[in-house]
A and B are shown apart, each in its own frame.
Chain A
Amino acid sequence: MRRFRASLLILPAAALIFLFIVLPYVTVLVMSFRAPGANGEPYGPGFGLQGYAQFFDEGYYLWSLPQSLLLGIVTTFVCLVLAYPIALHIAGARRRWRGLLYGIVLSPLLIGIVIRSYGWTILLGNSGVINSTLRDLGLIQRPLPLMYNDFGVVLALSHVFLPFMVLPLLSALQSMDPAVKQAARSLGARPFTIFRRVTFPVSMPGVQTGCILVFVLAISSYVTPALVGGMRVKTTTLLVVDALIDQFQWPFGSAMALILAVSAGVIVLIFARLTAMKWN
């Protein structure tokens, strides 16, 4: 009776997730094996592998995959490099400052993704803040290509997803016994050695979580590459949405989405294997 009453608590959430996450994803899987439609229909009768075949046949689509994955990896790396000193700083800051720094780190989350990306277009555009400032200073003649290319997209994505890297790092650093660092010092280790041999390895669970989160978010992001990349940086995710919404090719779009998801999954698995921690 007690178990039954308790299970009523989880029932709505379980139903919601099963009906509107599990079943729809199964639908995508099924859709990817359907035959392409004709005469403006999103899909045709019967099943086939045409969706997958189309992806591998056309270099335009096939090449977008490694490029997207690389974009995700670079973004993740940039985030890690930018986030680590910040996480260390906040973990070591006094209480009074911590709230403010925390607020700054979370600020990108509190503004919508459209506005954030839009902010970057104002900054990076040909007549944007950076270019016009540099031109006024006489440092450049023609505007630097900051936007509508991989550089701009990586920069904007790193900004958008930086909080997702800082937060896991911070929680790993904060759950670390401060006496561990002192112990290393008492044994004769200098600050950089402590970082290399103790702090960083102990924060590895945070590094892992942060990297996986940022990588997955980055390769599946849509708005930022669309606005900052100006449709000139073709990520697989952009092509998926294009195929589904504009071209109305549902089996092909689904197949492409699944290929992207599986590739990302493989990379995450390899990463997890490489950074496996026996001690945890």
Chain B
Amino acid sequence: MRIGALFLGLFRLLVYTFLLAPLVIVVLASLNAGNFLTFPPQGLSLRWFWTFLENDVFIDAIVYSSILAAGATAVSLVIGTMAALYFVRHAKREAEIVRIGVLLPLILPEILTAIALLFFFYEIGIGTEYKIALFTGHVLMTLPFVFLNVTTSLQGRDDSIELAARTLGASRYTAFRRITLPLIAPGMATGGVFAFIISFDTFGISFILKGSGSAPLPIQLYDYLRFNFTPEAAAVSTVSIILTLVLVTLADLLFSRNSKA
């Protein structure tokens, strides 16, 4: 029994290590002073971060990805929250259809969805012009995450609280703003952060629909990695990881303050 427990503990430790390994390795590799991605690093330095800062391609990609993610998140937040409100409050027999429908972009293989969108936009004559297809794809990818998080924050809530506010003289709009919105705000915040990160990191959609001109960060990284093997990619990745962590921490702070109030 003792040995069994020990073995199980060791196994768990291995799995946790396995989960964190690539993350740790990328960060360590970015601090490599050498020219190639070798291990152990040939001394520590931040030189690849400076190289990255002077490389317009990656800087542009990060800016471009951020704008794309912010836009897609904003649209998803509105559409996804509305859908969640409908699903929890009003959907009856059609509830399961609504849920599966909104989650379709998550359930269907991303690369296939990307291809389907590509054909569709070619059929209607737009193709990958004006980044419309790319933006639509990103909204689709992020929508399920907003929907799931807002739904969770709505479920288990007493449906009658908004009605209670109405009996106390609040208008439909006031009741929503003063009662419902504060309740779903944490769900929206978490959903928004998820959406932003998903959009920032999504590959299949961006890869197929990027069109010509500037491309999102994952695509630039992928292209770079196919032909180069310097720690600069690791530096870019590290910056991207830090950005994500900052965002998650911010949302967490916001969320915990909200839930305390």
Contact = CB atoms under 8 A, between A and B. Distances in A.
B76 to A, nearest CB: 9
B72 to A, nearest CB: 12
Nearest to A160: B22
A21 interface: yes
Contacts of B98: 10
A211 interface: no
Contacts of A12: 78-79, 82-83
A183 B108 CA distance: 41
Interface residues of A, number: 69
B111 interface: yes
B68 interface: no
Given A6-B90, A20-B117, A85-B8, A107 B23 contact: yes
A264 B208 CA distance: 22
A86 B21 contact: no
A104 B20 contact: yes
A3 B37 CA distance: 61
Given A13-B82, A82-B18, A127-B38, A220 B221 contact: no
Given A113-B203, A159-B18, A6 B89 contact: yes
B79 A110 contact: no
Interface stretch (B46-54, B155-163, B180-188, B241-249): B241-249
A152 B90 CA distance: 48
A16 B79 contact: yes
A118 B26 contact: yes
A227 B221 CA distance: 11
A129 B41 CA distance: 10
Contacts of B137: 20
Contacts, number: 211
B197 interface: yes
Given A28-B112, A108-B19, A119-B25, A13 B143 contact: yes
Interface string A14-54: 10110011011101100100000000000000000000000
A82 B14 CA distance: 9
Contacts of B123: 27
B12 interface: yes
B83 A123 contact: no
Contact of A10 (B22, B86, B234): B86
B222 A16 contact: no
Given A20-B140, A85-B15, A113-B201, A220 B110 contact: yes
A264 to B, nearest CB: 8
Interface in B169-228: 197, 200-204, 207-208, 217-218, 221-222, 225
B165 interface: no
B225 A10 contact: no
A138 interface: no
Interface stretch (A55-63, A174-182, A236-244): A236-244
Contact of A86 (B12, B107, B225, B241): B12
A159 B19 contact: yes
Contacts of A21: 104-105, 108, 113, 116, 140
B89 A111 contact: no
Contacts of B208: 241, 245
Contacts of A222: 111, 203-204, 207
Interface in A132-179: 132-133, 159, 162
Given A110-B197, A127-B38, A257 B115 contact: yes
A277 interface: no
Interface in B89-126: 89-91, 98, 101-102, 104-105, 107-113, 115-120, 123
Contacts of A118: 22, 26, 221, 225, 233-234, 237
A244 B203 contact: no
B26 A119 contact: yes
Contacts of B79: 12-13, 16
B136 A20 contact: yes
A255 interface: no
A121 B118 CA distance: 30
Interface of A: 3, 6-7, 9-10, 12-14, 16-17, 20-21, 23-25, 27-28, 31, 82-83, 85-86, 89, 101, 104-105, 107-116, 118-123, 125, 127-129, 132-133, 159, 162, 191, 216-217, 219-223, 227, 237, 240-241, 244-245, 250, 253-254, 257, 261
Given A10-B87, A107-B23, 5 more contacts: A24-B113, A85-B15, A111-B241, A116-B22, A127-B38
29 contacts: A3-B90, A6-B89, A7-B86, A9-B85, A12-B78, A13-B101, A13-B143, A13-B147, A20-B140, A21-B105, A21-B140, A24-B117, A24-B120, A104-B19, A110-B197, A111-B244, A112-B200, A113-B203, A114-B218, A116-B22, A118-B26, A119-B25, A122-B29, A122-B234, A125-B37, A132-B38, A221-B111, A227-B222, A245-B208
